[in-house]
Structure 1
Amino acid sequence: MSAFTLTGAEGIMKTFVAFVVFTSFCSFVLAAEESCFNDVVRACKTTNKMSQFPIACSAKYGGIEADQEYLQKYVNHHFIRSFEYLLMSTHYANYEKNRLGFEKLFRDLSDDTWDDAIELIQYITKRGGEMNFNLISEDIRSEELNGNNFELYELQSIAKAMDIEKKLATEAFQIHEDVCRKNDKFYDPEISHHMEEEFMPKHRDTIRKLAGYTTDLSNLLKGPDSSLALFFFDEYLLKQ
């Protein structure tokens, strides 16, 4: 009888210890993961106004806090490239050049790049981040300081556009690499998925298209009448 009682007491003690440990663990998890809930509860328990307390209810999670600087730079680079394409477009829209096909090509590239920047701003804000329009990488800042020439011949302008697209594509790869680091601060598979879905296929298709234009136009210019070849190629671009 005494043995039975001792065994029952041990069982009750073990149950109690397990309950205490489980309760402590749950409290730790709630404190670590539900800061928004905890802040609201803390504010509601006081007689002061809730506005006096910093409530950590934000859409941020994962690595967006550390990774948003990469995305902000990428947005700004898109805006810069969009204006560069626009300058290239206006060069062919004047009465001297009058290359409406080339003008359309670069204006479309400008619009697409601008739209991609706006889309990425929307994505950053969905993830709880904010936009900083002052962040620019040093290589692009150096380009801007040294000046760029956008009044180029037809073949040169297409080649320059392809180089711009490759730089944007390479930067997308770099962002993907940064956010895939096995590090609690940077790791964010949702951002990498967004880059894969929204940016990489577009860059791939645009680079392939511009590479084809470069090859076709360079072959046409080897013919007996380069002026006529440029005319027909411009007409072809106008219909795209």
Structure 2
Amino acid sequence: MKSFISVALFAGIIALTTAEDYACHDNVTFGCSTGNPVICHSLYAGIQNVESGIQSYINLNMHKSYQYLSMSTFYNSYQKNRPGFTKLYKEMSDRSFDDAIELIRHVTRRGGQVDFRAMSQHPNSVANSKLSLDEDELHSLGTALDVEKILADGATRLHLEATHGRPHDPQTAHFVEEKFLGRQAESIRKLSGYVNDLSKIMNNRDPSLGVYLFDQYLEKQKAPASQSKARIDWDVLNCC
């Protein structure tokens, strides 16, 4: 009986192997050669269905990174002199830039490609931005809150494409959920709190002292763990 089961299992494995597509195995001698169609690649599941969505989200993060950097630079001038707002927007700029790099790594790891030329042609490119820096601290926080919601919506759309596409791509959906969605929810919650707190201060007859103390509070906030580690690694490299 045992021998019969073993033979049956072996026959099933052989049949399954025959039915599967072993394109790379069958064409490995020329499948990766120059001038021939690439067969031995890392594409699988539905990554090709979400590749354009990832490209758009990379463009969006790059644009928002430069937007936050402009805001940080504005508050770092001697006229404004708001080190807390400078620090807040610089950290958010670094985060968006790092997110774009992570997305580039993800899509290339899965066998896709990134068109860097599309970044300057994107509707949300820096060249097409209508960002106004001539506004007070409260309105700048309102802008930052809007930006975070735009980024969260972009991640949600990408997660939807990865989950419901045919074929769907669960690895990309997991990557987006783990990397972006939870952290962006926390960022939106934090900024909405900042907006409401500073709004109460700005409604006073003379809010200058309150705004100064609020800026001092922002300056004392700790950077996210990932950014703190990045600074430590950079310091180690500099010292060596």
Query: 1:228 and 2:209 equivalent?
Result: yes
Deviation at 1:147, TM superposition (A): 2.5
Q: Which of 101, 105, 122 does residue 122 from structure 1 map onto? A: 105
Q: Which runs of 5+ in 2 are unaligned?
A: 1-10, 222-240
Measure the CA separation in 1 of the matches of 2:13 and 2:82. 74
Q: Which runs of 5+ in 1 are unaligned?
A: 1-18
Alignment-mate amino acid for residue 147 of structure 1: K
Deviation at 1:123, TM superposition (A): 1.0
2:185 corresponding residue in structure 1: 204
Matches within 5 A, 1:112-151: 112-135=95-118, 140=124, 144-145=127-128, 147-151=130-134
Measure the CA separation in 2 of the matches of 1:181 and 1:157. 36
1:13 corresponding residue in structure 2: none
Alignment-mate amino acid for residue 110 of structure 2: R
Asked whether the 8 Å contact 1:39–1:54 carries over to 2, the reply is no
1:11 corresponding residue in structure 2: none
Asked whether the 8 Å contact 2:46–2:165 carries over to 1, the reply is no
Q: Calculate percent identity across the aligned residue pairs.
A: 35
2:172 corresponding residue in structure 1: 191
Matches within 5 A, 1:1-240: 26-27=17-18, 29-30=19-20, 33-40=21-28, 43=30, 51=34, 53-135=36-118, 140=124, 144-145=127-128, 147-181=130-164, 183-184=166-167, 187-240=168-221
Measure the CA separation in 1 of the matches of 2:154 and 2:208. 37
Asked whether the 8 Å contact 1:36–1:55 carries over to 2, the reply is no
Asked whether the 8 Å contact 1:40–1:55 carries over to 2, the reply is no
Alignment-mate amino acid for residue 128 of structure 1: G
Alignment-mate amino acid for residue 102 of structure 1: F
Alignment-mate amino acid for residue 134 of structure 2: E
Asked whether the 8 Å contact 1:75–1:121 carries over to 2, the reply is yes
Deviation at 1:129, TM superposition (A): 1.2
CA RMSD of aligned residues (A): 2.6
Deviation at 1:40, TM superposition (A): 1.5
**Helix, strand or coil at the partner of 1:68:** helix
Measure the CA separation in 1 of the matches of 2:33 and 2:209. 74
Instruction: After superposing the two structures, state which structure 1 stretch, 49-58 or 161-170, moved more.
Output: 49-58
Alignment-mate amino acid for residue 140 of structure 1: N
Deviation by residue 1:174-213 (Cα, 9 ceiling, x = unmatched): 11111222522xx111111111000111111111110010
Deviation by residue 1:38-68 (Cα, 9 ceiling, x = unmatched): 1126x49xxxx96564341111101111211
**Helix, strand or coil at the partner of 2:211:** helix
TM-score relative to the length of structure 2? 0.79
Change (3 A) 1:54 1:138: closer
Measure the CA separation in 2 of the matches of 1:90 and 1:116. 21
Aligned length: 210
